Amino acid sequence: MEITASLVKELRERTGAGMMECKKALTEAGGNIDAAAEALRKSGLAKADKKADRVAAEGRVAFAQAGDRAAIVEINSETDFVAKDENFVAFCETVAQAAVGVDDVEALKAATIGGQTVEEARAALIAKVGENVQVRRMVAMQSADNVAGYVHGGRIGVLVELKGGDAELARGLAMHVAAMNPPYNKAADVPADFVAKEKEIELAKMSDKDRAKPAEILEKIIGGKMAKIVNEVTLYGQPYVLDTDKSVEQVLKAAGADVVRFERLAVGEGIEKVVEDYAAEVMKQAGLA
């Protein structure tokens, strides 16, 4: 069977493989495009396996929403260059859409996009961009209340579930969480051991003169310091980024709203990055070190 340019183009669009790889696969498959596509996918998986151990700490966070359900996903690449590649960006957006319908990463990898699983599409992308790509994390929320998402620069993604209020406030709060990264929602969510440790630190920082004050006065001083610390680490206690004259709690109270929960993903957090000393590597190869 003649391997026409249109057949090569069709296989390339289906698999994302290079033109020469598509032509070779079609030739070996006797012009059978389905067999050629399968062979390329298997080849892509083999290439993906070889790159699987390489650290992927760059990438993107993508957001998608459908009705009362929303999701954010973190997909990693090895370099920021690939993270900005149009094929990588498109893959992230498509996977985010698929994440709206599942509950965890393993289910997401098995989900179907464009006639193939996310895992198969990932392998094909690896073959195209030449780097390790990992679908690392996802978070999904479903609620009859307001659910909003926000992605900042493709690097930080946030989901917020808000009871009461409106979609605009929910999105504003998602922007706040992206910017301020509060570890906890409300004061009641702050662990007792954290409070005890901070109290111990504040006492140690006080002068002997202050520590010698009557217990009730000392308790008021420490109480004030602890209230400030708790405000700093809670969403409710922080100044609202869109109106810094008010705390988030004051804004929520005025709107008759309550933050049920929030989730924040930042690209590469928790991944140990390899720092390359390229100058030293060049000198070593040149026998100068």
Q: What is the per-residue pLDDT across 75-125, written as a single tens digit (0 to 9) for each?
A: 999 999 999 999 999 999 999 999 999 999 999 999 999 899 999 999 999
Confidence of residue 274 (pLDDT cuts 50, 70, 90): low
Look at 273 and 224; give whichever has higher pLDDT: 224
| Cβ neighbours around 239 below 10 Å, total | 16
* Helix ranges (DSSP H) in the chain: 5-15, 19-28, 33-51, 80-83, 86-99, 105-110, 118-129, 167-180, 192-205, 208-211, 215-233, 248-255, 278-285
Please choose, from the candidates 69, 68, 67, 62, the residue with its C-alpha nearest in 3D space to the C-alpha of residue 140: 69
DSSP-derived secondary structure for 229-278: HHHHHBTTTSEETTEEEEEHHHHHHHHT-EEEEEEEEETTTT-------H
The domain spans of the chain are: 5-51, 58-155
Is a pLDDT exceeding 60 seen at residue 190? yes
- According to DSSP, residue 157 is labeled E
Interval 192-201 mean pLDDT: 90
Q: Which residues of 59-81 are buried (b: 16+ CB within 10 A; e: fewer)?
A: bbbbbbbeeeebbbbbbbbbeee
Each residue's pLDDT tens digit, 242-258: 999 999 999 999 999 99
- CA-CA-CA-CA torsion for 6, 8, 10, 16, nearest 10 degrees? -150
Which architecture, in CATH terms, is 58-155? 2-Layer Sandwich (3.30)
- Is pLDDT larger for residue 93 or for residue 55? 93
- Report whether 141 contacts 159 (CB < 8 A): yes
* Ramachandran class of 34: left when φ > 0, alpha when ψ lies in -120 to 50, beta otherwise: alpha
Answer whether residue 276 shows pLDDT above 60: no
Using pLDDT thresholds of 50, 70 and 90, give the confidence band for residue 56. Answer: low
Tokens of 204: 């140690």
Q: Which of 159, 136, 168 is nearest to 63 (CA)?
A: 159
Query: What percent of the chain shows pLDDT beyond 70?
Result: 86
Mean pLDDT of 264-270: 93
Q: Is the pLDDT of residue 61 over 60?
A: yes
The token pair that represents 121 in the structure block: 């599409």
- How confident is the model over 136-183, as pLDDT tens digits? 999 999 998 999 999 999 999 999 999 999 999 999 999 999 999 999
Q: What pTM value is reported for the model?
A: 0.75
pLDDT in tens, 212-235: 778 788 778 888 899 999 999 999
Which band of pLDDT confidence, cut at 50, 70 and 90, is reported for residue 281?
A: low
Is the separation of the CB atoms in 266 and 164 below 8 Å? Answer: no
Residue 193 has pLDDT above 80, yes or no: yes
What's the half-sphere exposure (Cβ side, CA atoms, 13 Å) at 274? 8
Confidence check: pLDDT of 39 > 50 = yes
Distance of CA 217 to the CA centre of its chain: 46
What's the rounded Cα separation, in Å, for the pair 274 and 209?
A: 49
Which of 72, 106, 112, 111 lies closest to 92 in space, CA to CA? 72
DSSP helix/strand/coil, 113: strand
Q: Angle 44-47-50 (CA atoms, 0-180°, nearest 5)?
A: 150
In this structure, are residues 150 and 95 in contact, taking their beta carbons and an 8 Å threshold?
A: no
Q: In the prediction, which pLDDT does 131 show? A: 87
Confidence of residue 20 (pLDDT cuts 50, 70, 90): confident
**What rounded mean pLDDT belongs to the chain?**
87
Please give the pLDDT value at position 46. Answer: 45
Is 90 exceeded by the pLDDT of residue 192? yes
Asked whether the predicted pLDDT for residue 14 surpasses 80, the reply is: no
pLDDT at 261: 97
The percentage of residues in the chain with a pLDDT greater than 90, rounded to a whole number, is 58
Domain 5-51: CATH class, spelled out: mainly alpha
Same fold, 5-51 and 58-155: no
Contact 75, 133 (CB under 8 A): yes
